[in-house]
Amino acid sequence: MSRTAQWIRRVILIAIAAAAVIGVAASLGPKPISVEAGTALRGPLVLTVDGAGRAKMVDKQTISAPVAGELERISLRPGDSVTADQVVARILPALSQPLDARSRAEVTARLGAARAGLSEANRNVERAQISLELARSEAERARKLVSTQSVPVRTLELAEAEEKARGAELELAKTSVGRVRLEAQAVAAALGDPTRSRTATTQPIEVRAQSSGVVLRVHNDSAGLVQPGSPLLDIGDPRALELVVDLPTQSAVRVKAGAAVSVDGLGNGAVLAGAVKLVEPGAFTKVTALGVEEQRVNVIVVAAGDLEKWSVLGDGFAADAHIEVHKAADVLKVPAGAVFREGSGYAVFTIANGRARLAPIETGARSAAEVEVTKGLAPGDKVVVHPSDKLEAGLEVLED
């Protein structure tokens, strides 16, 4: 073998050995880390306070039974329209309850006593009538004697006074008869037959709607006994609807009346436009699913824009409200998942030439999805979203 051939062979062996060393070194070195990439962009940034709400009809009214009695079956059903002063229910007078043997004996004895008292009162009337007639006769006789000057005038005055007294006694006796008669009738009514059927002349009590609206709920679907104040049905105006959103007090203090609201979570993909009408001044305590007590405030949201879209909501419907508390027209922003704490400030991992670079930043407003960057980035910079614990500055990265 010539010297030239040996030299060529030696060079080839050295190249093969170098390639093997480079391959082993590459296999032992760190592999590129797969990351999710985002971009710093300029645009609007809207901050919202989010909460669950419940729709409520403003003019809802509950119609209740004014008296005790037997309610006739209500023919109205949820969704039916009613007008002001329309009869929505009828209540028949309740039948008397049957008496047990002891109660019946007591009532019978009271009835006997009442009838005896009535008889006594009638006798008193007869006696008072006789006394009055005698007093009138005496008064007439005294007038004749006085006219002939046979007796003094004083005698006539006494006779006329006696006549008036006996007349008053007669009126009192007649009043007592009327009172005792009514007492006897009341006791006798308690002994009436509780199973008797109502007569055709029995007039039901009509319950009327106070205003126009739509039936929301019928509390009693069938006929039956009701007591005064028993709810019969709910009526409301579907055009007068508002959304009640309860927020933690820490979030409610950021909400102002008139703030724009986006309402979704209805189940049909619709997004409704609304506005804050009122932030109630009083808070209440609410226990969360984890058993933690929170102080919360009701925020009242009303329709804005196309009111017809709000017709999909009904009384008690659930919805999600997103209330604007801050809005910037043009800021530099990055995905919220790219920002993390670094020392006393914030930082992101940028991507340059296939490698991760640590970039301290200064932040401004922050929403659930985006963060405003006031210093440290430029529009178009790529950042790592949700960086893992394995990612370090200088490592090679592979964008998903």
SS (H, E, C) the chain: CCHHHHHHHHHHHHHHHHHHHHHHHHHHCCCCEEEEEEECEEEEEEEEEEEEEEEEECCCEEEECCCCEEECCCCCCCCCEECCCCEEEEEECCCCCCCCHHHHHHHHHHHHHHHHHHHHHHHHHHHHHHHHHHHHHHHHHHHHHHHCCCCCHHHHHHHHHHHHHHHHHHHHHHHHHHHHHHHHHHHHHHCCCCCCCCCCCCCCEEEECCCCEEEEEECCCCCEEECCCCEEEEEECCCCEEEEEEEEHHHHCCCCCCCEEEEECCCCCCCEEEEEEEEEEEEEEEECCCCCEEEEEEEEEEECCCHHHHHHCCCCCEEEEEEEEEEEEEEEEEEHHHCEEECCEEEEEEEECCEEEEEEEEEEEECCCEEEEEECCCCCCEEEECCCCCCCCCCEEEEC
Give the span between the Cα atoms of 275 and 259, in whole angstroms. Answer: 6
Does residue 41 or residue 146 have the better pLDDT? 41
Largest CA distance in the chain: 196
29 CB contacts (<8 Å, ≥6 apart)? none
The β-bridge relationship of strands 33-39 and 397-399 is: parallel
pLDDT average, residue stretch 61-78 = 88
The model's pLDDT over 136-181, given as tens digits with 9 standing for 90+, comes to 888 888 888 878 877 788 887 887 888 888 888 888 888 888 888 8
The model's pLDDT over 235-280, given as tens digits with 9 standing for 90+, comes to 888 778 899 999 999 999 999 999 999 999 888 888 899 999 999 9
pTM: 0.57
CA distances from 135 to 153, 166, 169, 317 (A): 17, 7, 12, 84
The model's pLDDT over 2-37, given as tens digits with 9 standing for 90+, comes to 666 666 666 676 767 666 656 554 454 567 788 888
CA distances from 384 to 38, 55, 339, 353, 371 (A): 6, 41, 9, 14, 14
pLDDT (0 to 100) of residue 367: 84
Q: What percent of the chain has pLDDT over 70?
A: 88
Does residue 100 or residue 171 have the better pLDDT? 171
Nearest residue to 158 (alpha-carbon basis) of 146, 170, 149, 147: 146
Does residue 146 or residue 213 have the better pLDDT? 213
pLDDT average, residue stretch 87-98 = 78
pLDDT (0 to 100) of residue 195: 47
Does residue 108 or residue 66 have the better pLDDT? 66
Confirm if 237 and 212 have CB atoms less than 8 A apart: yes
Give the span between the Cα atoms of 387 and 397, in whole angstroms. Answer: 11
pLDDT higher than 70, residue 198: no
pLDDT average, residue stretch 310-335 = 89
Tokens for 209? 């709607």
Assign 339 a pLDDT band (cuts: 50, 70, 90): very high
Give the span between the Cα atoms of 58 and 216, in whole angstroms. Answer: 13
> Mutual orientation of helices 101-147 and 153-190 as an angle, nearest 10°?
160
